[in-house]
A and B are shown apart, each in its own frame.
Chain A
Amino acid sequence: MIKKAFTFLMLGGLGAMLLNFILSFRERTALPEVAAHYIEKGPAELGSANIVTSVVVTYRGLDTLGEVTILFAAAAVVGLLIHLNRNENAVRREGSEILKTASALLFPLILMFGAYVFLNGHLSPGGGFQGGAIIASAVVLTVLASPNRKIGHTVLSVIESISGLAYVALGAAGALLVANGFLDNRIIPLGEFGTLFSAGLIPIIYTLIGLKVGSELSSVVISLNGETIEEDDQ
């Protein structure tokens, strides 16, 4: 109880710090310089309608690469721990017949929706991460429906690796070919503003991110379901 009271006191102190900020907080009325540049010059510079996307993929592309790396590392840790403590003969309860049928039906639809989300990331809200998450949820559904079915874990890892490699390679191409900079999306023509095939590399990179995130999240889910990649091999 004393501990709780003390905890309360300390969180109160933290709350006071936050309150300090809240009291001095005034909603912005104008954009900071950099943000204003993104909004005003961004579409012309990078050709992407969704400014958030151009910030994520290009202006702050290194963050995004890092973010993908974090997911990659998280997936690797999950894989590692499951691999080290594999439990070969666990039997999982099968999902209901309805769930199975529904998942079989929904799986391709959800995949397509995911693809749509990341392909249109430069035009509308959405992008690689959201699309990847949607793809992963399709996998979740399948795993729920038939937990004992072997999912193509190897396929996932190949997709993951290739999309990752392609991402890094395209990024490096930005530095190497055009000598502008790492992750520059302008190494191919920007195309016509507002169309699917525009904004240079952005849709391609977002697709790769989508594939990579999707496969990573899927393997996290599958791993947590208790499968290892080696099981898949046998």
Chain B
Amino acid sequence: MEILFLIISVFTVITALTALAVKDRVVSVLAGGATGLFASILFIIMAAPDVAMTEAAIGSGLTTFIFFFALRKIRRNDQDHSYKVSEVTNRSREND
């Protein structure tokens, strides 16, 4: 059990680092959601099914949905206003 726990913990941290490292916003959001999902597995192992459900449904599921709605809105406005998200992110990449 502990080994399994350790492995999932490692995965949790890896997904979190992925969210940090990737350049693409969408992937980052998804990785953030995945962190939550892995964490909810940890919660189950720690005998916290209520928390696991909540984390999966809210912390990981709905949160990611809301992120996507927000991103969608930004992208849509992008087309409306002809703002260039790619330009912005490129610049920030250069600066990094």
Contact = CB atoms under 8 A, between A and B. Distances in A.
A contacting B, Cβ–Cβ less than 8 Å:
yes
Interface of A: 50, 52-53, 90, 92, 117, 125-127, 129-130, 133-134, 136-137, 140, 217, 220-221, 224-226
Contacts of B52: 125
B65 A221 contact: yes
Contacts of B61: 133, 137
Interface stretch (B12-20, B22-30, B69-77, B86-94): B69-77
B71 to A, nearest CB: 10
A18 to B, nearest CB: 14
A72 to B, nearest CB: 15
Interface in B30-88: 48-54, 57-58, 61-62, 65-66, 69-70, 73, 76, 80
B25 to A, nearest CB: 16
Interface of B is mostly: helix
A220 B67 CA distance: 12
B62 A133 contact: yes
Interface of B: 48-54, 57-58, 61-62, 65-66, 69-70, 73, 76, 80
Contacts of A217: 62
B73 A130 contact: no
B67 to A, nearest CB: 10
Given A130-B58, A133-B58, A133-B62, A224 B70 contact: yes
A127 B66 contact: no
B76 A50 contact: no
Contacts of B49: 125
Interface of A is mostly: helix
Given A125-B53, A127-B50, A225-B69, A90 B76 contact: yes
Contacts of B80: 90
Contacts of A224: 66, 69-70, 73
Nearest to B67: A224
A200 to B, nearest CB: 19
Nearest to A226: B73
Contact of B62 (A90, A136, A225): A136
B7 to A, nearest CB: 19
Which of A127, A133, A136 counts the most B-chain CB atoms under 10 A from its CB?
A133
A129 B54 contact: yes
Nearest to B52: A125
Contacts of A226: 73
B66 A137 contact: no
A114 to B, nearest CB: 9
25 contacts: A52-B48, A53-B50, A90-B80, A92-B76, A125-B53, A126-B50, A126-B53, A129-B54, A130-B50, A130-B53, A130-B54, A133-B54, A133-B57, A133-B58, A136-B62, A137-B62, A137-B65, A140-B62, A217-B62, A220-B66, A221-B66, A224-B69, A224-B70, A224-B73, A225-B69
